[in-house]
Structure 1
């Protein structure tokens, strides 16, 4: 059986965002049990139906990457009790049919959700909003376990980087569960 391919979608474009660091930590935990890639979508334009057909090259590229993935793991911050606009924009593009013959690429894809934030909510509200959208798009969401990490300042190293302490076992549990979830979905 081939290794599953997990694509990580980080809801922040900042190079060293805490959620990108969390995605890298998940990648390390997954190790060689799956292929794991962090999606670069920083060049995806604002959704605009005037540009939809043919889709811009950046949109075609990310669609192909999502289409090739066996599972999509979202790592989202929480901005004003919601997930970021750049993530919504990406999902808007991915939710559109590719052509009259080819549907959108999210339908049926297994999805996991994690998030870290400086605030107290731990991205729980943003994740709930994201679940609502992904459910509407017919993704297969692994609702348990989800990982919400509040008060990130308590889990930083001396240089200000993410150093999961109390949350590390929960990320490990989620990674194990998502690999099993993908395998179950492939059966």
Structure 2
């Protein structure tokens, strides 16, 4: 298996100074040579509307294509009102539609999240895992990367400055690569 593992990175925040976008960009830099991470910007994903499934909005069609051509997905989610943000939920819903044509089917996935609060997006990550059950996605259980007090872990330009967090993100990406390889091997049997 000499092919690089392709990971699609999705940040559930649209904010320019988002700590989750910064964490995702840190993951890109920490990715091992055996893989690559392409970040897809969710800016422009419309609110989910079943009346717009056929044809799908172009940005959603592009997202579904990127999901399908990836070996695994890396989510970086903030926590809004104890759950995943609307933009991420809209992207997930659209890419699972129309019924029977989900791009998420069977994809290995990992989650991380950054928050200015003490829990580091724990509740949002657990809600996202619940969504994975219906989507038949295979969540990597460990390591869990919850980045609390994120304002203290990134500089003004969004660079990750915290060594512990950097090590955890690196460990997560490496585990996701191995998880994707295992799933690829299972599919080849």
Alignment of 1:15-164 (within 5 A): 15-97=16-98, 103-157=101-155, 159=156, 161=158, 162-164=160-162
Residue 175 (structure 1) aligns with: 173
1:68-107 per-residue CA deviation (whole Å, 9 max, x = no partner) reads 1100000001111111011001001011137xxx621101
Q: For the residues of structure 1 that align with 2:146 and 2:124, how far apart are their CA atoms?
A: 10
**Residues 16-56 of structure 1, C-alpha deviation per residue, up to 9 Å, x if partnerless?**
31001100100100053212111122122111111111111
Secondary structure (helix, strand or coil) at the match of 2:146 reads strand
Distance 1:26 1:50 in 2: 36
CA RMSD of aligned residues (A): 1.5
> Given the superposition, is the C-alpha separation of residues 15 and 160 from structure 1 closer, same or farther in structure 2, using an over 3 Å criterion?
closer
Q: TM-score, normalised by structure 2?
A: 0.91
Structure 2 spans left out of the alignment, 5+ residues: none
C-alpha deviation, 1:170, in angstroms: 1.1
Q: Structure 1 residue runs of 4+, over 3 Å off? A: none
Relative to structure 1, the CA distance from residue 131 to residue 160 in structure 2 (aligned partners, 3 Å threshold; closer, same or farther) is same
How many residue pairs were aligned?
183
Change (3 A) 1:95 1:153: same
Give the unaligned 5+ runs of structure 1.
none
